[in-house]
Amino acid sequence: MSMGEKLMRRCDELAELSSDPDRLTRVYLSLEHARANELVSRWMVDAGMRTWCDAAGNQCGRIEGDRPGLPAVILASHVDTVPGAGKYDGMLGVVLAIEVVARLRTSGRPLPFAVEVVAFGDEEGTRFGAALLGSRAVAGTWDDEWWALRDADGISLADAFAGFGLDPGRVGEAARLPGELVAYLEAHIEQGPRLETADRALGVVSAIAGARRFVIDVVGEARHAGGTPYERRRDALVAASEVVVAIERLARDGAGIATVGHLSVEPGAVNVVPGRVEFSLDIRAESDDERDTLWAAIQATTAEVGHRRDVGFTSTQTHAAEAVRCADWLRDVVTAGIREAGDADPLVLFSPAGHDAMAMASVTDVGMLFVRCRDGISHHPDEEVRADDAAAAADALEAAVLALADQL
């Protein structure tokens, strides 16, 4: 079995641990999460690591450097999924990290730092609606308000912790201090088509997008569809539709990405002019300034459309995340790693999707390596990675860690 085939097989094994027999779904603090931790722990032990499950349910492993107790380089990704997921989002990064540690240990080369692997239990936020719970716990940015969050069955996050064998009162023990860490490196599928378009296996991540999410409420007046002349209508749906189309135009003309993914209409009757509409808005950009400039343009559009159509637009922000720049020195070591793996001029990409590195940036410098995925498809069962690309990613990540050691 080739290295690429071994890595693909391990992703297959993780994908078999699903709560749904027909599609891959694995959520935080579930039975399937516990089984994934057990499998990952076994691979970590085989790679020579000391292992433990931390106070937030993340599975961790460690090899020491040239002397015990040194600060660590963390190699990590996540093992939770969205509903109906593919096999490589998060999981490929975990199995790559374990493979790199196995190689480092058997090479016998002394390192000026320890190396740890973390399989984060929650990145997607599928079960409780708040993303990055695993990495936020490790970064020390846990919010006690999350304890009241409930899943679709009404189970609170606090009760789920207890059911998993964890003590909510000890979640702070998962946090790492800056002095305990050297850096954080994450390998992840790109979740976009740019590497494939450029015919490249790997890429260097420059930054992770800053994001803001809103719920926008549009209030007009519900009236009889036949009896209300157009000049008397305050149609909330027509006004919302005009704004939705404008949002796409503004994003395409600017530097950001904006998506309306959900829309509801009231009263929702075939013969009634819509009186109220609620829609979601997700805005992302490489920098916070670009993200906020796009939001300002959208707000100006809602004001103009609202005035012209005599409807009210109000917005409520539901999520905000600052853009995260990958540290220049870690971009350099990732670049060196990709060159060592055979690409003399690595492609540099920014990530519109969020990753655990966003949370970890609050406690240490972060760097990321992207791996090509077919047609850029992700969060879907058709997610696909080539075995030779996975093998190249293992080579590049190992070389990046060694390049990092050469800098210290």
Report pLDDT digits (tens) over 281-324: 999 999 999 999 999 999 999 999 999 999 999 999 988 889 99
Helix spans in 341-386 (H)? 356-360
**What's the pLDDT at 67?**
95
Provide the β-strand partners of residue 75: 117, 185
Q: What is the DSSP letter of 327?
A: P
pTM tops 0.75, yes or no: yes
* Strand ranges (E), 267-342: 276-285, 312-321, 324-325
Residue whose pair of structure tokens reads 């539901």 in the numeric block: 318
26-65 pLDDT, tens digit per residue, is 999 999 999 999 999 999 999 999 999 999 999 999 999 9
**What's the pLDDT at 116?**
98
* Strand ranges (E), 55-155: 59-63, 72-78, 114-120
**What's the pLDDT at 36?**
98
**What's the pLDDT at 408?**
85
Which own/partner contact pairs does 4-10 have at CB distance under 8 Å and 24+ positions apart? Answer: 4/386, 4/387, 4/388, 4/389, 4/390, 4/391, 5/387, 6/99, 7/92, 7/95, 7/96, 7/99, 7/387, 7/390, 7/391, 7/394, 8/385, 8/387, 8/390, 10/43, 10/95
Residues in the chain where the model's pLDDT stays below 50: none
Would you state the torsion angle of the CA atoms of residues 100, 367, 188, 127, taken in this order, to the nearest 10 degrees?
Answer: 110
Q: Contact 255/302 with Cβ under 8 angstroms?
A: no
